[in-house]
Amino acid sequence: MLNRYRHPVSRLRTRQTGVGLIEVLIAVLVLSIGMLGMAGLQTWALRSNQSAMDRGLAVVQAYYIADVMRADRATAVTNGFNLGIDDAAPTGSSYAPASLADWRASLQQALGPSASGSVDCNGPVCDIVVRWDDSRALEGDAAQLIRVEVEL
């Protein structure tokens, strides 16, 4: 009589005994799409960090030339440090031209060969501009400018 009330073991099992191939393929597809998104996000983050570092270097370089001009304030106030953004680096062995030439060289070393800078003083107030190519970070021809106004 006991056997009559017991169910056979085969009836208690469910029909699905494992993970189907379609379910595995869908899981792999979802995972790969997520991983591609993460790779794109990391690429964007690296470019943004490079651009931020370049902007920081440009600001440091702008304040560097401001400190150089403060060392020879008399020449700076009389426009001895004025230099256009597209002008050639000055030549000469006196303090102002040598400092500007060194500054332009350090700009190109830090920010690339297309980097340039200008100084425009109007009395003790000077406007310093640093320009460089940031096309790697912005995907295209993107000239970046940092403008700093300092009082000597």
Other beta carbons within 10 angstroms of residue 93's beta carbon come to 6
- Residue pair 120/126 in contact by the 8 Å Cβ criterion: yes
Q: What is the pTM of this model?
A: 0.74
Domain range enclosing 87 = 2-151
Q: Taking 70 as the threshold, does the pLDDT of residue 9 lie above it?
A: no
Q: What would the pLDDT profile of 104-118 be if each residue is shown by its tens digit?
A: 999 999 999 989 999
Q: Taking 60 as the threshold, does the pLDDT of residue 150 lie above it?
A: yes
Domain tally, the chain: 1
| Token pair recorded at residue 13 | 């099992």
Q: Provide the pLDDT confidence category of residue 139 given band limits of 50, 70 and 90.
A: low
pLDDT for res 141: 61
- Residue pair 152/70 in contact by the 8 Å Cβ criterion: yes
The closest of 137, 108, 138, 132 to 146, measured between CA atoms, is 132
- When pLDDT is averaged across residues 13-25 and rounded to a whole number, the result is 74
Q: Provide the pLDDT confidence category of residue 3 given band limits of 50, 70 and 90.
A: low
Q: What would the pLDDT profile of 68-101 be if each residue is shown by its tens digit?
A: 999 999 999 999 999 999 999 888 889 999 999 9
* CA distances from residue 66 to 24, 39, 78, 111 in whole angstroms, order as listed: 63, 41, 15, 18
- Average pLDDT score, the chain: 86
